[in-house]
Structure 1
Amino acid sequence: MTKELKESDPGSPSPNVLRIILALRKWGWGSFWSQLVLAIIASIILIATIPFVTRAAAPNPNVPIATAPSPGIGMGILFTVIGIGIVYFTAFWSFRYTKLAQKLRGANGGERPSKLQTVKLLKTGAIFSLIGMPVTLIGANAIVGALTIKSLTPQPTGGYVGVISVQPIDMFVVQASILTILAHFVSLFASLWLLNRVSDKPTN
């Protein structure tokens, strides 16, 4: 990769621009794949979980309450799903960083993006991550709140008062929410790091 970026042509970018190109490639691909993998795993978990939550919405007298997902957890899943949708978008936006690196390199003979355009692209990525993270955090808090209420609510079972236990299906939903938050953090970190790198003053 470094060979490709050597200043062999008269019109090749300056050393500082070359470093920015390398950073955009490295962090763009790293952020893209990290977010994509985390979003896919979270999506699979939710796809496997939602049918159980839907089933819990229609109470069945033959199904013990202790084995059903927590009431109110559906709202948390909704916000988590929205957060995952934003992750897919920010993953695509991170992929655009790699395309930006190609344009800065001038490999296709097109006009190179200005510093202002580059900063604007990175800021937009950071803003979407800042939107997605609190949305997912709201979902995570709703889920944890539902589980807390469930664990503290006594339920008559077999003639005595027992405590409703937290089920594995509940923990899967929590895991999906945490993975989504992590994906937003990766995107935000990469965007801010690249923004700082682009905004640095040139060095000789």
Structure 2
Amino acid sequence: MNISLNAQVREHKGKGLRNKAASEGKVPAVVYGQDIDNQLLFVESKDISKILQENGTSQLVNLKVNNDEYKVMIREVQNSPVSKQLLHLDFLKVNLKELIKTIVPVRLEGEPEGLKKGGTLQQHIWEVEVECLPDNMPEAMTADVSDLKLDDGISISALTAIAGVEVLTAADNIVATLVPARVGAAEEEVDGEEEGK
């Protein structure tokens, strides 16, 4: 996936910066890395919001600053605790020849056999830590749940392998289980009886 983001160099920082930037539809940011000096930037709020909404912080971004272009990862996102408005971003320039660690989502694929027998699929792990070269970074790790029967589960070790990508999350952690639907119904009935007492 090719994700690009344009940025503008900013010269100043200070208390009034965020308010001024917000009024102009921009978010202050900084890019840093091993072989570059820290650069203060602005990015368009609508552009970075779309990237975060569609991809989170787990994907490489082609950050274009004037005539330069950097492969970066979004390392920190600061939001207002009240309005949730984006306040500031940190971009880390990556070395394409060095392994990096990052968090990627877990996606379930297929329809479990046990669904036809009244089972309910429950996902317990939604993301895992992986290590890979930046260009090998997956959009997600997938788990095929097609063979799950009632009371079955699938663990991290069953995630579909991707060449050049090592999953660092413990292999025995359970990603998803297929439980009898009646268990959930019974729990609701118990809760209802307790509330009525």
Same fold (TM over 0.5): no
TM-score by length of 2: 0.19
Task: Answer 1 or 2: which has greater strand percent.
Answer: 2
TM-score by length of 1: 0.19
Larger Rg: 1
